[in-house]
Amino acid sequence: MARLDATKWVNDYSDMLYRYALPRVNDSDVAKDLVQDTFLAAWRNHDSFKGEISEKNWLFTILKNKIIDHYRKASTRLTEGLPDATSDPYFDQEEHWTQQAGPQEWGIDYSQPVEKKEFYDILNRCKKKLKDIQGAVFSMKYLDGMDSEEICKELNITASNFWVLMHRAKLGLRACLEKNWVGK
């Protein structure tokens, strides 16, 4: 086993790991801490690294586990992400859209993938505004491609909670994009 070289590790892998974590946790300090923790865990357990996968993949495996742990912490604050039973900004008593919240036409070709970085910057900012647990289910589904059953199992939440969280995440993201991106 080659002697561990902290400088090389950090120079080779830190940005890559950081860019993986950042859109998943939507907080630069949290992402930075997760990368640091990943290096520390890898450093301490380097003896158990068998070289069956590349060092890079090994670091990513550790980071992914740390991100899941971070999501699990958010899932202990589940109720934050569920709608307030007394007032709903999106729907009225009859469950119709409220006047302010009704979606507007965006005037774009919805089937055309967006390539502009500006859109993703705004999308990330909108994701940051979601409650942590809403952001977690959304990231697990759409950034990691996990199935809803898997997500419920990882976070120990019910299917019904999952759908409420995803519904609220979509309502929040849609409204935020309409306000901040559309027409730009």
Partner 1 sequence: MCMKLQITCKQATEFIVKRDEGKLSLKNRCLLLLHLGICGFCKFFSKQSKFISDNSKNIHRHVSDTLSAEEKEQMIANLQQQ
Q: What is the CA radius of gyration of the chain?
A: 20
Q: Does 11 help bind partner 1 (rule: CB under 8 A)? A: yes
Please tell me whether residue 113 binds partner 1 under the rule CB under 8 A.
yes
Q: State the nearest-atom distance from the C-beta of 106 to partner 1, in Å.
A: 7
The residue (of 76 and 91) whose beta carbon lies closer to partner 1 is 91
User: Directed axis angle between helix 148-155 and helix 159-180, to 10°?
Assistant: 110
CA dihedral 166, 147, 135, 158 (to 10 degrees): 60
Of 73, 77, 91, 156, the one binding partner 1 by CB under 8 A: 91
d(CA 124, CA 135): 10
Are residues 110 and 156 in contact, defined by beta-carbon separation less than 8 angstroms? no
**Sole binder of partner 1 in the list 65, 106, 150, 179 (CB under 8 A):** 106
- For CA atoms 120, 70, 50, 17, the dihedral sign is positive
To partner 1, the closest distance from the beta carbon of 5 in angstroms equals: 10
Any bridge partners for residue 97, and if so which?
91
Site for partner 1 in 14-43 (CB under 8 A): 14-15, 18-20, 22-23, 28, 32, 35-36, 39-40, 43
Tokens representing 43? 């450093």
Footprint of partner 1 (CB under 8 A): 6-7, 9-11, 14-15, 18-20, 22-23, 28, 32, 35-36, 39-40, 43-44, 90-91, 94-97, 102-106, 108, 110, 113-114, 117, 119-121, 123-124, 138, 141-143, 145, 148, 163, 166-167, 170-171, 173-174, 177-178
